[in-house]
Structure 1
Amino acid sequence: MTDPRLLDNIFWHALAGPQARFARGTAVARRFARDYSPIVAFADARSPDFAALAPYCDAGERFYCDGWSGRVPAGWRVDVDATMYKMVWEGPIPDDDAPEAQPLDARHATQALELARLTRPGPFGPKTIELGDYFGLFDDERLVAMAGERVFAGGWREISGVCTQPDQQGRGLARRLMHKLLRRELLRGERPFLHVAGTNTGAVRLYERMGFRIHRESTVRVVALDAAPR
């Protein structure tokens, strides 16, 4: 059984658990190593120890921080203050309707990063596709859609990096890739979930029609270490 409480601080449980090899930090504050994904997490998400994290960050480096809405500590700044939904899968096991999808690896890293920068599906780095299974659909050698798995812990597996080239949208490519991932995860006995921006109501409705439901809404901030404490 998957414990829903883990989702409230899933990035910490991943970075302090099964994905610790991708982490840098301490027993109370961690980040993904450079180029994997610009995300930080804390053992106590509501009262994060930014002082413990600071030695592992460069001045001006920006990170996503989930679940914290408190006072900004000296030496740090908040560039974005928003909300996002955590959504969990409650539908049946879908068919794999993207059998032609190709696994993405280091050969595809540049195209994957360019697609993420163009469509902005969320935090993404040059090595994000190494964090889990990522699949892409191609038109000849051009990557036109992708989706994959970013974090996992306690039986929960995140679907992330879902995006499609603007001139290929409306064809259901991302949905097909998600079905492929959902099927693989469910057959492994895992519980799929995803994050979506609180302002992206269209995506929320789409995911609900697919079979996801909202687990909770949480604060998400983009934070950066200033060059000097304020």
Structure 2
Amino acid sequence: MAHLLDNIFWHSLSESQSQFAIGEGKARRYALGFSPILGFAEPWNPDFDALRPYCQSNEQFYCGDWSGAISTAWQQHWRIDKEASMYRMVWQGELPLEDTLFSYQPLTTQDAEQALALAQLTNPGPFGLRTIELGLYLGCFEAGRLIAMAGERSFAHPYREISGVCTHPDFQGRGLAGRLMRQIIRHQLQAQEIPFLHVMSHNKLAHELYLKMGFVDYCETPVRVITRL
């Protein structure tokens, strides 16, 4: 029997987070403004025809768990911009301690523009203006300026993704993002959820850091960045 984590984006978009999704049949995407991620019931045979009416021309998406040859017919409507692989990692560590000496606060829709600007600067993965509405996001501020954040993206009960982990270059080296991650993990475990995350395979330093934190590799899976023509 297939595991939820084998096709986590489909299960998120078609089940636990269906209120944030659009699409039909065996194809879904997050609605415009959220993270530009696709999900297919059969990622080995994705139904792009069903999804095409829900995608704008020149809109770019991330499509995980899909690889292999593409047809000439597909290339009439879509383009592959990048192919890579990523690790899907699951938490197996202990409950992190509450960090009472750490100043952070939940992000709200009033912080959305700052969160998007920080994500665009640091590129932690697909991020949209409304991504912070997908779950709990925590941030560190200095003089009203968002300098670090971490939060939650995909969710297929009981697995909830940690994503958007980033720090402004001027404030790196302080461990801010890692401390925010631990508070997110603590929140998820107390809610009887299982944290998971994605990290690009070429990002060896981040992969090693997550292993030391308490995550383990579930799988290494392909990811493609594509554009609707």
Between the aligned partners of 2:157 and 2:25, the Cα distance in structure 1 is: 19
Displacement of 1:60 after TM fit?
1.3
Displacement of 1:77 after TM fit?
1.0
TM (norm. structure 2) is 0.95
Within the candidate set 157, 168, 172, 1:169 is matched to 172
TM (norm. structure 1) is 0.95
Between the aligned partners of 1:204 and 1:40, the Cα distance in structure 2 is: 24
Displacement of 1:95 after TM fit?
1.0
Query: Where do 1:119-198 residues align within 5 Å?
Result: 119-198=122-201
Residue 10 (str. 1) matches residue 8 (str. 2): yes
Match of 2:39 in 1: 41
Q: Deviations over 1:34-91 (max 9, x none)?
A: 0111101101011100111101011211100001102222321100100000011111
Displacement of 1:97 after TM fit?
1.7
Residue 206 (str. 1) matches residue 213 (str. 2): no
AA at the equivalent of 2:162: I
Match of 1:96 in 2: 98
Between the aligned partners of 1:34 and 1:223, the Cα distance in structure 2 is: 16
Between the aligned partners of 2:167 and 2:97, the Cα distance in structure 1 is: 20
Q: Which runs of 5+ in 2 are unaligned?
A: none
Between the aligned partners of 2:125 and 2:194, the Cα distance in structure 1 is: 21
Displacement of 1:96 after TM fit?
2.3
Q: Deviations over 1:94-116 (max 9, x none)?
A: 01226531110111011100000
Aligned CA RMSD, in angstroms, stands at 1.3
Between the aligned partners of 2:108 and 2:145, the Cα distance in structure 1 is: 14
Match of 1:52 in 2: 50
Match of 1:221 in 2: 224
Q: Deviations over 1:133-162 (max 9, x none)?
A: 001011120111000000111200100000
Between the aligned partners of 1:154 and 1:116, the Cα distance in structure 2 is: 26
Q: Deviations over 1:176-224 (max 9, x none)?
A: 1011001110111111000001110000000111111111000000111
AA at the equivalent of 2:56: D
Q: Pick which of 74-83 and 159-168 moved more.
A: 74-83
Residue 80 (str. 1) matches residue 82 (str. 2): yes
Between the aligned partners of 1:91 and 1:105, the Cα distance in structure 2 is: 29
SS in structure 1 at match of 2:16: coil
Matched-pair identity in %? 54
